């Protein structure tokens, strides 16, 4: 190359350049020699290139290349020590070590080969085939039958790294014969023997596995062993069936030594505009002897055009304990069908919902099980007047099977709720923001809420039809103050004062969705803090607070919010034990901290006027490369209005630790501080290297008011990596397992 550069500069070739030019000439001769031979085999000849340290013609039909030989045939690339080409027969005699790469994530390494037809046919000796840098197959001989099929004999297959101190892979498949179908991306084993740690585990006369390039293929998925107090020792063996390019079915039988016989089915289909997921479980077990149990679900998500979007999620178990007994514990189930359209200024939604509680203390007959909602929201700028105006039109219908009757001691908080309730609500609002002198931000706003209710079977507690109008006028001032320090840190302090006037008159109505109003930094400056519009906040009130934020140049930031609500009169809208009750609400103190090393800390607390702590919620999350921690603490006082008979106080913790390059430990618990007892505990251990993943976990669910019986479960999951759609993402290195 140096001589060639000299020739390009000065126009005269030196001896080295002349030699290179002679080699290039031989390459051209080889190309011209190969093309006619290829042309007789197929109508469209492929371009061939040969590069070597030395090339010479041995006879009229033989060309020999030696030393760092590289040959290119279309997308196929050959690297070898010596190549002999016979133009008369079109055969290539190759001496290795050789590397054959066909450009489709398949690499073959061998000692010697006899090939023809542009490296597509022939015999390869002492070969090793590597698929997508994952699955490796070592064979005594490899015969390329054509461009699609490759036959291998006396085979050992594995995706594990072979080390000098550990010559036996963690797992391997030994077989007498293997056929690789490149078009179907399948590997077929004959007389196969699966081994773990060098020990034979199972013999299979026929075995088919997808090569690592194939993401979806029919076959068994990784089995899962379980042990729990309900089923005993059990085994789940999922079988995945590819029905077409856009459909598949997973069949999972579950058997246990205590008589559990269950079958799980899951059908998935992808459409051009959405997806469909159907499934269910059918079981007979010893937990409820003689009964057939099960669960059905359906999930879908579709784009209908013109911006409309249809989604649904339906679930129906046969009994309350089924999901808990089969590892899918949920306190409440929600089924919904939703049609929605969202544009820049408009949102339209029609939704049907069904609620079902699985808690033993809840009576589903008195819950509003069936709910229908329709909402139209629109916002737009107001020309001339300025600001932004909004419109929200909502219709809601709910129904329960039985009437819930009973009255709380506090006047105005009536617990009687009708069998059916229909509501139509119209909300009109307008808000305009402006920058005042001195950098003060001012805002004014108007809001009008109109509601009409139709009630049935109220027991005389309410009228059959009730109408209500709730006007509100709002004025707000914010004064953001910014200070920068010499080290680059920036402080932002923003005091906020908001005054809202609303009518004092209250209309007695049943409370359905608004029984648990929140008080946090998100709604401190809101007109209405009830989650449902059947309850609206009224009266003259002032929302006062301040926020301090610090941004550090090192990448971390912190926020602190302090606020309170003052009311002219106590209208009895909120229960005495809620933070929003009385003429003065509790003090809200909320803070957060975010750092560059993955630490996130947040706290929200409510204090009385004499700084007595009534509610608090604390959460800490910390994630690094070697460990992760997530812990939280919560304390809430008893509140009959919110259906909370006793105070709740709970501490939960979840943590993982990377023990070394392969082992990861995890631990977690949930402790009921109010009852002074553990609610849940778990410990687990995971191992993963380049070819094997093992997950083990032990969990204990202690008895409680909602779960009367304690449960213990143990799970073991083993995944073979490097085959099919289960690739390895772990760095390859030697280990001592």
Q: Please state the three-class secondary structure of 561-622 as a single string.
A: EEEEEEECCCCCCCCCCCCCCCCECCEEEEEEEECCCCEEEEEEEEECCCCCEEEEEEEEEE
- The dihedral built from the CA positions of residue 200, 201, 205 and 209, taken in this order, carries a sign that is negative
Nearest alpha-carbon partner for 133 in 152, 168, 159, 167: 159
Nearest alpha-carbon partner for 271 in 300, 242, 298, 231: 300
Confidence at 20, pLDDT banded by 50, 70, 90: very low
Of residues 298 and 217, the one with the higher pLDDT is 298
Q: Which two tokens stand for residue 191?
A: 């007389």
pLDDT over 70 for what percent of the chain? 87
36 sits in which H/E element: helix 15-41
Distances (CA, A) of 476 to 473, 495, 500, 521, 584: 10, 11, 9, 16, 19
What is the distance between the alpha carbons of residues 544 and 479, in angstroms, rounded to a whole number? 12
The pLDDT, as a whole number, for residue 706 is: 60
Residues 6+ apart with CB under 8 A from 135: 157, 158, 159, 187, 211, 212, 722, 723
Mean pLDDT in residue range 527-547: 89
The pLDDT, as a whole number, for residue 294 is: 94
The pLDDT, as a whole number, for residue 389 is: 97
Nearest alpha-carbon partner for 395 in 451, 355, 448: 451
With beta carbons less than 8 A apart as the criterion, state whether 353 and 369 touch.
no
The pLDDT, as a whole number, for residue 241 is: 93
Distances (CA, A) of 180 to 163, 209, 476, 720: 26, 10, 73, 19
Question: How would you label 85-103 residue by residue, b for 16+ Cβ within 10 Å and e otherwise?
Answer: bbbeebbbbbebebebbbe
Residue 60 has pLDDT above 60, yes or no: yes
With beta carbons less than 8 A apart as the criterion, state whether 715 and 695 touch.
yes
The pLDDT, as a whole number, for residue 515 is: 65
The pLDDT, as a whole number, for residue 552 is: 92
The pLDDT, as a whole number, for residue 211 is: 76
Q: Which two tokens stand for residue 382?
A: 């107001």
Q: Which of 94-103, 134-143, 208-217, 237-246 has the lowest mean pLDDT?
A: 208-217
What is the distance between the alpha carbons of residues 373 and 712, in angstroms, rounded to a whole number? 41
Of residues 105 and 683, the one with the higher pLDDT is 683
Tell me, rounded to whole angstroms, the distance of Cα 253 from its chain centroid: 25
What is the distance between the alpha carbons of residues 326 and 358, in angstroms, rounded to a whole number? 14
Q: Taking the CA atoms of the chain, what radius of gyration do you get in angstroms?
A: 37
With beta carbons less than 8 A apart as the criterion, state whether 369 and 512 touch.
no
Residues 6+ apart with CB under 8 A from 601: 592, 593, 619, 620, 621
Q: Which of 391-405, 462-476, 548-562, 717-731 has the lowest mean pLDDT?
A: 717-731
Bridge partners for 638 per DSSP: none
Residue 359 φ/ψ, nearest 5 degrees? -75, 135
264 sits in which H/E element: strand 261-271
Of residues 508 and 483, the one with the higher pLDDT is 483
How would you write 675-737 as a 3-class SS string? CCEEEEEEEEEEEECCCEEEEEEEEEECCCCCCCCCEEEEEEEEEECCECCECCCCCCCCCCC
pLDDT over 90 for what percent of the chain? 41
Place of tokens 């923003």: 494
Q: Which of 279-288, 310-319, 322-331, 607-616 has the lowest mean pLDDT?
A: 322-331
Confidence at 734, pLDDT banded by 50, 70, 90: low
The pLDDT, as a whole number, for residue 353 is: 94
Mean pLDDT in residue range 271-278: 96
Mean pLDDT in residue range 213-235: 84
Residue 34 has pLDDT above 60, yes or no: no
Confidence at 29, pLDDT banded by 50, 70, 90: very low
Of residues 639 and 451, the one with the higher pLDDT is 451
Question: How would you label 116-145 residue by residue, b for 16+ Cβ within 10 Å and e otherwise?
Answer: bbbbbbbebebbbbbbbebbbbbbeebbbe
Q: pLDDT, tens digit, for every residue of 506-516?
A: 777 777 766 67
Residues 6+ apart with CB under 8 A from 492: 480, 481, 482, 547, 548, 549, 550, 551
Query: Average pLDDT, whole number, for the chain?
Result: 83
Confidence at 338, pLDDT banded by 50, 70, 90: very high
Instruction: Spell out where 32-61 has E strands.
Output: 48-51, 54-57
What is the distance between the alpha carbons of residues 241 and 268, in angstroms, rounded to a whole number? 11
Q: Which two tokens stand for residue 570?
A: 């106590």
Confidence at 171, pLDDT banded by 50, 70, 90: confident
The pLDDT, as a whole number, for residue 277 is: 97
The Cβ of residue 223 has, within 10 Å, a number of other Cβ atoms equal to: 14
Residue 377 has pLDDT above 90, yes or no: yes
The Cβ of residue 728 has, within 10 Å, a number of other Cβ atoms equal to: 24
What is the distance between the alpha carbons of residues 74 and 78, in angstroms, rounded to a whole number? 11
Residue 653 has pLDDT above 90, yes or no: yes
What is the distance between the alpha carbons of residues 548 and 563, in angstroms, rounded to a whole number? 12
Q: How many residues does the chain have?
A: 737
Which range among 399-403, 423-427, 723-727 has the greatest average pLDDT?
423-427
Mean pLDDT in residue range 239-267: 93
With beta carbons less than 8 A apart as the criterion, state whether 657 and 686 touch.
no
The pLDDT, as a whole number, for residue 729 is: 59
Nearest alpha-carbon partner for 173 in 149, 146, 191: 191
The pLDDT, as a whole number, for residue 32 is: 38
2 sits in which H/E element: helix 2-10
Q: Read out DSSP for 624-675? A: -SSEEEEEEEEEE--BGGGTB-S-EEEEEEEEEEE-SSSEEEEEEEEEETTT
Q: Which of 42-51, 339-348, 533-542 has the lowest mean pLDDT?
A: 42-51
Of residues 718 and 565, the one with the higher pLDDT is 565
Mean pLDDT in residue range 249-276: 94
Mapped onto helix, strand or coil, the DSSP state of residue 540 is: coil
The pLDDT, as a whole number, for residue 39 is: 36
Residue 687 φ/ψ, nearest 5 degrees? -130, 135
Mean pLDDT in residue range 170-195: 89
The pLDDT, as a whole number, for residue 409 is: 33
The answer to pTM > 0.85 is: no
What is the distance between the alpha carbons of residues 557 and 54, in angstroms, rounded to a whole number? 66
The pLDDT, as a whole number, for residue 551 is: 94
Of residues 130 and 588, the one with the higher pLDDT is 588
Residue 633 has pLDDT above 90, yes or no: yes
305 burial type by CB count under 10 A (0-12 exposed, 13-18 middle, 19+ buried): exposed
Residue 82 has pLDDT above 60, yes or no: yes
Mean pLDDT in residue range 206-219: 80
The pLDDT, as a whole number, for residue 728 is: 64
The pLDDT, as a whole number, for residue 41 is: 38
Confidence at 75, pLDDT banded by 50, 70, 90: confident
């Amino acid at each position: 190359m140096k001589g060639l550069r000299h020739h390009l500069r000065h126009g005269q070739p030196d001896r080295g350049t002349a030699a290179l030019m002679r080699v290039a000439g031989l390459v051209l001769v080889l190309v011209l020699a190969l093309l006619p031979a290829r042309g007789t085999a197929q109508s469209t000849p492929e371009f061939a290139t040969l590069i070597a340290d030395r090339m010479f013609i041995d006879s009229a039909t033989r060309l020999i290349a030696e030393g760092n030989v590289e040959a290119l045939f279309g997308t196929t690339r050959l690297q070898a020590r010596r190549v002999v080409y016979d133009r008369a027969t079109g055969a290539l005699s190759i001496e290795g070590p050789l590397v054959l790469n066909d450009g489709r994530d398949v690499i073959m390494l061998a000692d010697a080969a006899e090939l023809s037809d542009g490296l597509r046919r022939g015999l390869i000796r002492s070969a090793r085939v590597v698929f997508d840098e994952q699955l490796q197959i070592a064979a005594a001989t490899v015969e390329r039958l054509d461009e699609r099929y490759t036959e291998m004999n006396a085979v050992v297959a594995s995706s594990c790294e072979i080390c000098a101190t550990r010559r036996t892979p963690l797992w391997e498949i030994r077989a007498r014969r293997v056929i690789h179908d490149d078009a179907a991306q399948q590997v077929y084993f004959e007389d196969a023997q699966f081994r773990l740690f060098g020990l034979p585990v199972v013999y299979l006369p026929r075995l088919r596995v997808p090569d690592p390039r194939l993401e979806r293929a029919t076959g068994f998925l990784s089995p899962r062993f379980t042990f729990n107090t309900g089923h005993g020792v059990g085994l789940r063996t999922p079988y995945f069936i590819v029905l077409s390019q856009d459909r598949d079915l997973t069949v999972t039988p579950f058997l246990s030594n205590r008589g559990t016989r269950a079958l799980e089915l899951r059908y998935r289909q992808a459409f051009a505009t959405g997806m469909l997921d159907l499934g269910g479980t059918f079981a007979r077990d010893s937990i409820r002897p003689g009964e057939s149990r099960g669960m059905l679900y359906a999930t879908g998500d579709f784009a209908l055009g013109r911006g409309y979007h249809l989604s649904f999620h339906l679930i129906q178990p046969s009994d309350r304990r089924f999901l808990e007994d089969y590892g899918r514990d949920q306190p409440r189930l929600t089924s919904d069908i939703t049609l929605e359209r969202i544009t820049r200024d408009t949102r339209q939604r029609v939704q049907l919902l069904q609620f079902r509680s699985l808690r033993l203390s809840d009576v589903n007959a008195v819950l509003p099980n069936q709910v229908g909602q329709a909402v139209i929201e629109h916002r737009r700028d107001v020309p001339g007047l300025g600001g932004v105006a909004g419109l929200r039109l909502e219709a809601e219908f709910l129904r329960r099977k039985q009437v819930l009757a009973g009255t709380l001691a506090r006047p105005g908080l009536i617990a009687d709720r009708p069998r059916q309730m229909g509501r139509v609500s119209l909300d009109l609002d307008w808000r305009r923001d402006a920058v005042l002198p001195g950098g003060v931000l001012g805002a004014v706003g108007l809001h009008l809420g109109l509601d009409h209710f139709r009630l049935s079977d109220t027991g005389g507690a309410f009228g059959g039809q009730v109408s209500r109008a709730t006007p509100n006028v709002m004025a707000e001032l914010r004064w953001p103050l910014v200070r920068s320090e010499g080290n680059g840190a920036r402080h932002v302090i923003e005091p906020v004062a908001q005054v809202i006037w609303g009518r004092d008159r209250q209309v007695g109505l049943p409370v359905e969705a608004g029984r648990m109003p929140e008080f946090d930094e998100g709604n401190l400056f809101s007109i209405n803090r009830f989650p449902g519009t059947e309850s609206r906040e009224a009266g003259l009130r002032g929302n006062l607070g301040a926020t301090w934020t610090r941004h550090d140049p090192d990448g971390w930031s912190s926020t602190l919010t302090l606020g309170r609500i003052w009311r002219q009169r106590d209208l009895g809208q909120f229960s005495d034990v809620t933070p929003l009750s009385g003429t003065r609400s509790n003090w809200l103190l909320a803070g957060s901290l975010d750092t560059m090393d993955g630490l996130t800390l947040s706290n929200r607390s409510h204090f009385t006027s004499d700084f007595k702590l009534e509610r608090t919620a604390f959460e800490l999350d910390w994630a690094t490369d070697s460990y992760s921690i997530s812990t939280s603490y919560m304390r809430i006082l008893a509140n009959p209005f919110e259906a909370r008979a006793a105070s709740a106080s709970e501490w939960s913790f979840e943590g993982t630790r990377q023990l070394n390059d392969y082992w990861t430990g995890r631990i977690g618990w949930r402790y009921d501080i109010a009852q002074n007892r553990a609610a849940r505990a778990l410990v687990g251990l995971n191992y993963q290297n380049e070819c094997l993943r093992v997950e083990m976990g032990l969990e204990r669910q202690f008895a409680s008011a909602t779960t009367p019986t304690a449960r213990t479960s143990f799970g073991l999951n083993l995944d073979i990596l490097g085959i099919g759609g289960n690739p390895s993402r772990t760095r390859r290195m030697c280990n001592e397992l």
